[in-house]
Amino acid sequence: MIIIKFFIDKVSFVISLFYIFKWKLGFNYKDIAISLSLIRGKLGYSVRQKFYEKTLLACGIDLKVHFGAYIVYPETTIGNRCSIEEYSVLSLASVGNDVIIASNVVLLSGSNHHEIDKLDVKFHDSLLVLPGIKLGDNIWIGVNSVIMGDVPSGCVIAAGSVINKNLLVSDAVYGGVPVKLIRKRG
């Protein structure tokens, strides 16, 4: 078992260096992240962890990025002991410590990605600045949720929820489309 762990650690280090080198050469970060998301098993976990530790603006210890999940922007920050489960996508975000993002969750870079009022501007040509979102500490986001606003510490987001504005109450349970406060925790 120790030999296998040693082998996985060394191979994942080499693979992650290869992809870091590609990124430094100018290859698209998102494309690289998607490629890495398709590596299965313990090797995949290890490669993704090493890659994100070296390329994100900040990355805490014990990050687990599951198969099919990826992070879109290197300006993203992630705290300690975070888990991004299968097929989830993180755009521009600041994620606190001890955050669990269940499968098929999408964290957008805010709620306003494209110019919608200027009819002469094509969506592809929108130059809006992406504000990013902030997730506090100790948050659990349920499967199939869409997050477009900040989430304060201690919150639980029910499965299938859509957050379209910043949430204000910490240590609470939220759910629905659009999301509503269900109750305080504790």
| Rounded Cα–Cα distance for residues 55 and 99 (Å) | 20
**What are the helix (H) ranges across 25-40?**
29-37
For strands 146-147 and 172-175, give the pairing: unpaired
Q: What is the pLDDT of residues 144-185, one digit of tens each?
A: 999 999 999 999 999 999 999 999 999 999 999 999 999 999
Cβ(33)–Cβ(66) under 8 Å?
no
pTM: 0.91
Got the DSSP string for 110-129?
-S--S--S-TTS-GGG--PP
Residue with tokens 């762990």: 5
Q: Please, what is the end-to-end C-alpha distance for the chain in angstroms?
A: 42
Structure tokens that stand for 156 in this block? 């639980």
Q: What is the pLDDT of residues 78-130, one digit of tens each?
A: 999 999 999 999 999 999 999 999 999 999 997 777 777 788 888 777 777 78
